Amino acid sequence: MKHILLTGTAGFIGSNFVPYFLKKYPDYTLINLDLLTYAGNLENLSECVGNPRYKFIQGDICNRELVEFIFREYDIRGVIHFAAESHVDNSIKNPGVFVETNVNGTYTLIDVAYKHWLTKPSLYKKGYETCRFHHISTDEVYGTLSLDPSDLFTEKTPYAPNSPYSASKASSDMIVRAYHETYGIDTVITNCSNNYGPKQHDEKLIPTIIRNALAGRPIPIYGDGKNIRDWLYVLDHCKGIDSVYHTGKTGETYNIGGRNERTNLQIVDSICTILDAKVPMEKSYKTLITFVEDRAGHDRRYAIDATKLERELGWRADETFDTGIVKTIEWYLKKYQK
């Protein structure tokens, strides 16, 4: 039985990943470390409770003593690191905690992993040779793109983070890169586009649209609504992580994206159209759309070129935005109409 440390799994992506990974790999025991900040919710993991291969520990990735204890106690043989402060708006109001969690937390985890797995740079302890550190990151590290559709983020795009969130994630990517280059620890990094799907925190765009629509409240859209994101269904991201964790080349980074570019206006329009059909009210939900003051430094466009992951590791997104959004809305209808 191999013990793998997963961090931040009470959040959106991690809590979609854990049940998928537990089911697919019966020889893994998953040790889940999460501080349960405002963004973490244990209900997201309720389906795993009682599974003897699932263990939850509430704690901070910056707490070195705790992280060392976990590595010793469970003899951790792999790390998939999701934990982060993840909301750009919060990073504009309060950047300090982003640096603390995203940079110092990643440093603490990889440094403890290095010391647990290797005796000196590039020398793995006997039996630990396959231990790998997988860092989950974002396409926001690359900054913003022009509106030219052929302009896409590749793994070679220079980093140019624009928000405190993306700057802290870019810094954490650099720490992970440095530990591979300097100490020879086996690392992989995945940079993914915007995720959507079940279990996302209420503060994020898609849950906010659905919740406000159902409550008959104004649906806030930043600026002119023309900012473009590349949307990926969360389970497709989980499958991409699985693929890179198991078959990615050491020291490499892989972009994950669904080739589903949408403006925020297109997103809100699609959701309102589906809600109009599923739970009609007198007027269309579109009448609730309200433009609000734009986010400071709001990046205009993100779009991923996922060719490397598709060609080298054979990953493909299973959902298009049109199929994934229906599943997503059905999940939130159950949540918000309870």
Ligand X SMILES: NC(=O)c1ccc[n+]([C@@H]2O[C@H](COP(=O)([O-])OP(=O)(O)OC[C@H]3O[C@@H](n4cnc5c(N)ncnc54)[C@H](O)[C@@H]3O)[C@@H](O)[C@H]2O)c1
Catalytic sites, residue numbers? 139-140, 165
Interacting residue with ligand X among 31, 40, 176, 275 (CB under 6 A): 40
Decide whether 77 or 169 has the Cβ nearer to ligand X.
Answer: 169
Asked whether position 257 contacts ligand X by CB under 6 A, the answer is no
Residue 161 touches ligand X, criterion: CB under 6 A? no
Nearer to ligand X, 39 or 267 (CB): 39
Q: Which stretch binds ligand X (CB under 6 A): 10-18, 21-29, 181-189, 314-322?
A: 10-18
Binder among 35, 76, 141, 221 for ligand X (CB under 6 A)? 35
- Write down the least CB distance from residue 249 to ligand X, Å: 20
d(CA 270, CA 247): 36
Can residue 253 be called a binding residue for ligand X (CB under 6 A)? no
Q: How far is CA 317 from the centre of its chain?
A: 15
Q: Which of 138, 212, 227, 255 is the binder for ligand X (CB under 6 A)? A: 138
Q: What is the Cα Rg of the chain in Å?
A: 20
Smallest separation, CB 123 to ligand X (Å): 29
Candidate segments 187-195, 211-219, 312-320, 327-335, binder of ligand X by CB under 6 A? 187-195
Beta carbon nearer to ligand X, 105 or 143? 105
Q: Is 45 in the site for ligand X (CB under 6 A)?
A: no
* Residue 143 in contact with ligand X, rule: CB under 6 A: no
Rounded least distance, CB 88 to ligand X, Å: 10
Residue 82 contacts ligand X per CB under 6 A: yes
Taking CB under 6 A as the criterion, the residue among 5, 6, 8, 245 binding ligand X is: 8
Q: Find the helix packing angle between 264-278 and 205-215, rounded to 10°.
A: 40
Tokens of 1: 């039985």
Tell me if 105 contacts ligand X by CB under 6 A.
yes
Instruction: Using CB under 6 A, count the residues that bind ligand X.
Output: 31
Give the footprint of ligand X on this chain (CB under 6 A): 7-8, 10-14, 33-37, 39-40, 60-62, 82-86, 101, 105, 136, 138, 169, 192, 194-195, 201
